[in-house]
Structure 1
């Protein structure tokens, strides 16, 4: 295969909502370029892109799939992404490495929910972006409405390059950059190029002049040319459009019928000669603060943006060559581990098809297999030339479930399977909670969860049970209390004896030292689960030897680790040990540990114990017209609204909400807002649980 340089490589992501036609458009572009002889369809389950079993079963993209095509001396790397935000990790990693983003919009529906959510990531990455209105030939197509919805999304920087029409009863596209009409036969394919019909001349001229002005705005030299000549040539317009796209200040709009292969060749031509090449974008900065320049003569740096496990092959790492070039047999250093990795094979991937290559140059996208310890977000670089590409920030999971195998014998197998799956998809993870003694799975939504469950069953042969996680409460006290306990045990040989008298109080930072005690020592323990235990030695007269006090403290800590009320961690308590007894022969560490634990537990239950629940800061972003329904639902979940903000046509509701009320919130919000609402949470504090709920939890 021909090796392309950074000036002739175009990396494009197809993004957009579910059913917008991204996979069909990618398939048609490969067909148009002659890389495949027959176009597959999603319905027939034979597209190059959606080749995974789960994608064919659901007839929707689940994974981002790299493809490539060659067109007029350019290589176009295409990454077809899922359209559902449950798979936002696939979309985010793709946007991170491409140079142009093509947002595909269905002409029947315009900008949909998925596109709105994806647009937030487009704005975050600030990549050159164009829009493609698909299915213009559909009987229910509403081009003008679809275009207006794009303007509402992207703003005044949207500009038409094309619009659809009918010429002599046939589907046609008017191109106001080239000022030509393209008329298609009933089955699409290569169009007939025509002069723009008289009835469209006025509108085409108006849109052309607008495009000239918008192109000129992005470059001072072009603006001067425009003032001198009153217009720009097609080549000058291309320069202006490219600069506008690179500044994220111009969003060209095209129209196609991907299914009928109408307009795809023209779209590919625009990507070739206008969309920025990999080497034309500004260098990005490495973690070390240096420019990573996309040129083959620079030190090599590969950024791994995706990992996939294929049963017959093993781990496949997908990467972009950020600088330099790589050849088969190269040994590169992993900036995270410091270990050398051998690139024994290099591939260009087209779905499940792998094409071996000997070399890849700066700006290109490829894959390799059998790397020892390289994962998504890792950088491989020329040994001794430290380069770390800034990692992709993946969103935290929005729903959590307890996961466990139905068969106990599958526990180890489940752990290995989950490790592979999380290597492949960093937006989900499983962590064992020592507090609740549960394995907690977090992911992006119910659909994401069902894909995980399907994969475990059908790929790894593990049946799992998913259930509601326990909420990790905290226990504390509200008033002082005294207690004492004598531990005495005699059973043949050496006995056990220890007696402890203590007082406990609620602890707050900055409070004065306890009164009425002769304080001989003080120890502050920062509890690993949050809060403090402050332990005072107030023993006088040597009634308890100082060497036994650490054992008393140990006994108290053991009780705090499994609180007397519900078994939850206890926190924010101070303890004054002020009296007791010991025996010259029978006293030992275990005796005082037991006595301290029992005395503390008794005092705790007499100190008006209270449960504390985790409270999260919640931000919900919803369309303004749905705000009332969302707020009503939040109030039923014991949430307290603390503020509101606006973001365009969206409102952001800020609230504090108990974690216990967040279960299935993602599913409920999606239902209330028809999928248009999004949210994020962050732990804020522990607060007192209402009395009626505490009683219920204690009884449970």
Structure 2
């Protein structure tokens, strides 16, 4: 609480799978004395990295849930969130970047800018997060940090500039040359904790001068003082240069690149210095809320403890002591015993316990000041809720949540498993907005949906371990959709006369394909042929038909309904009658609009040793894949393609056997496209069989 807000940093560490995010966080915690021994991901000692606190994460050697921690470095407080790399857990990265002020983009010096690095970069852009880059694994054979800097410029359009040059690469990697202070840094001691500053080796002097020139040249764009010094050939001071670079970073116009090897304990402390020198404090970032009393006009928030509180719950976790709500305070402060209001529900609640997180451990704190990230207990809320001081009418904007693309039917083995399964599903769908669950009305099966096979795998495994719920899974289901391809007109009368008051409603107009939205209702009725009070009923009737298409009962998207005529009866017309008329009109006109089935197409990027390039391309072609391009990176070859999700099940095993386990692939949703005729017929056959079974 007493911390000067300018001495606070909220940063995230994000990157492609296996670039060394968790290993880097482990070293940061060690050097800032939060932990006193280093453990490795998939460690031989069976302990596993601090931030991978889930048993599953330690076994698989991957990060599944983002974990928060807090440390201090040179009088500054740093909140760090370690995020997953797999695209299946993309929501964890989204929600972390939503509340962070700055980020470290970790890149592998061998792999360079990989497919997931591109996704993470898009997410940073979406939330306008300034970042610095760290080229990790400089000790590996094939390491080439300068190639990575070129890729940052070409593939991600970053104005990337080297802050260091490596002293030796691969097995000879000894340290780095700091281009700002022009010193050679060597990392001595068992764990690289002692930094030795020496003169730059003679053989690197010329190269260091050349890269320093480039650095100064890039930085002059952001500082008049530095430009003057260069023009007058006056000495460039460290403060002047760092000030200019910081200005470039805050505007997202400059990306300083640091180098090292987290695993070999090299280059981590200068990176920590850079977090303090170059990344923004909460004061340097403009955060906006929407004013509900002024038609959601944006309002700039001030990170000041004296002002009314505005804070955002960005992640939920059900722990052994109840719901843990991760929260970021944007304005004002949260204290134990304070009363706040949940803007979404309008409910008042009292803050009982506030904690600061360190992976899965926590320490109690009396208050959270402006800009701080912490967690609170026993508060019933949803992810993305805003908490404010009573009387404040501000709300934070929600974050982007991608739609699930894959579904599985699951069934519990026995009654005990059934009870535990429903508990687990309740918890997981509340914690993770990309994980959805529902019961199929016709088959009675429980369906879970998510972002990929690994995503659903992990949740099924967690049900077994954390809830002792043994479930069996059906074949994975793809989220198909239906749409129409041409305009078709309707004119439908709904009439019912069976004693008592009848029902009457006539609707006329047309439906047509629409690419802007899933469903648009356009009311063009003139002269009151359909009374105004019944228009919403017509819209409701059409909208209700979108959930299940008349063709194969998949959700219908991309339709514009235009209502331009109709008729009503003074006694027999009602909301119900017009809803029924709209439903009847839709069922009648839909087949005339040439409906088609669409399937999700995935962007699949395979990284494989060059000798298996042909085999991998062949395997993608067999799966109705379309190769978009292949890049030869020397030893490795990167193949970009688009493949229907339906063909990608079990691909990990096939790819492993094709390439002796040396290739890896990432997959993310690209678009919906029409299913070929032969496959549409197969799908229709399966749907018909399913209906017969139910009947």
TM-score by length of 1: 0.73
Match of 2:356 among 327, 330, 348: 348
Structure 2: distance between partners of 1:248 and 1:48: 31
Structure 2: distance between partners of 1:112 and 1:142: 14
The CA deviation at 1:14 is: 0.8
1:128-182 per-position Cα deviation (integer Å, ceiling 9, x unaligned):
1111112323455333444444344333500000121149977121010111111
Structure 1: distance between partners of 2:103 and 2:483: 51
The CA deviation at 1:447 is: 1.1
> Structure 1 stretches of 5 or more lacking a match?
477-506, 515-519, 533-560, 573-599, 656-660
Structure 1: distance between partners of 2:680 and 2:187: 69
**Change in CA separation of 1:679 and 1:470 when aligned onto 2, cut-off 3 Å:** closer
Structure 1: distance between partners of 2:144 and 2:150: 10
Equivalent position of 2:577 in the other structure? none
**Change in CA separation of 1:154 and 1:691 when aligned onto 2, cut-off 3 Å:** closer
Structure 2: distance between partners of 1:651 and 1:137: 26
The CA deviation at 1:41 is: 2.1
The CA deviation at 1:260 is: 3.4
Equivalent position of 1:174 in the other structure? 177
Equivalent position of 2:277 in the other structure? 273
**Change in CA separation of 1:24 and 1:384 when aligned onto 2, cut-off 3 Å:** same
Greater CA drift, 411-420 or 46-55: 411-420
Given that 2:480 and 2:600 are in contact with CA atoms closer than 8 Å, whether structure 1 keeps it comes out as no
**Change in CA separation of 1:562 and 1:118 when aligned onto 2, cut-off 3 Å:** closer
**Change in CA separation of 1:57 and 1:149 when aligned onto 2, cut-off 3 Å:** same
**Change in CA separation of 1:282 and 1:671 when aligned onto 2, cut-off 3 Å:** farther
The CA deviation at 1:185 is: 3.1
Equivalent position of 1:290 in the other structure? 299
Matches within 5 A, 1:216-365: 216-229=220-233, 232-286=236-290, 288=296, 289-310=298-319, 312-365=320-373
Structure 2: distance between partners of 1:361 and 1:22: 28
State whether structure 2 residue 667 is matched by structure 1 residue 663. no
Match of 1:183 among 183, 186, 210: 186
Equivalent position of 2:383 in the other structure? 376
Matches within 5 A, 1:114-125: 114-125=116-127
Q: Tell me the secondary structure at the aligned position of residue 467 of structure 2.
A: coil
Equivalent position of 1:15 in the other structure? 14
Equivalent position of 1:26 in the other structure? 25
1:622-654 per-position Cα deviation (integer Å, ceiling 9, x unaligned):
6799999999968976x9x9xx999xx999999
Structure 1: distance between partners of 2:623 and 2:257: 44
Structure 1: distance between partners of 2:271 and 2:254: 16
**Change in CA separation of 1:163 and 1:329 when aligned onto 2, cut-off 3 Å:** same
The CA deviation at 1:200 is: 1.7
**Change in CA separation of 1:284 and 1:683 when aligned onto 2, cut-off 3 Å:** farther
Task: Number of aligned residue pairs: give it.
Answer: 589
Structure 2: distance between partners of 1:84 and 1:629: 21
Structure 1: distance between partners of 2:481 and 2:315: 37
Greater CA drift, 375-384 or 170-179: 170-179
Given that 1:307 and 1:318 are in contact with CA atoms closer than 8 Å, whether structure 2 keeps it comes out as yes
**Change in CA separation of 1:630 and 1:125 when aligned onto 2, cut-off 3 Å:** farther
Larger radius of gyration: 1
The CA deviation at 1:369 is: 0.9
**Change in CA separation of 1:349 and 1:686 when aligned onto 2, cut-off 3 Å:** same
The CA deviation at 1:474 is: 9.1
Structure 1: distance between partners of 2:118 and 2:94: 14
TM-score by length of 2: 0.74
Q: Tell me the secondary structure at the aligned position of residue 53 of structure 2.
A: coil
Greater CA drift, 256-265 or 270-279: 256-265
Equivalent position of 1:503 in the other structure? none
Equivalent position of 1:457 in the other structure? 464
Match of 2:429 among 408, 416, 422: 422
Match of 2:407 among 397, 400, 406: 400
**Change in CA separation of 1:205 and 1:695 when aligned onto 2, cut-off 3 Å:** closer
Q: Tell me the secondary structure at the aligned position of residue 286 of structure 1.
A: strand
**Change in CA separation of 1:684 and 1:69 when aligned onto 2, cut-off 3 Å:** same
Equivalent position of 2:202 in the other structure? 198
**Change in CA separation of 1:401 and 1:681 when aligned onto 2, cut-off 3 Å:** farther
Equivalent position of 2:576 in the other structure? none
Equivalent position of 2:668 in the other structure? 678
**Change in CA separation of 1:440 and 1:210 when aligned onto 2, cut-off 3 Å:** same
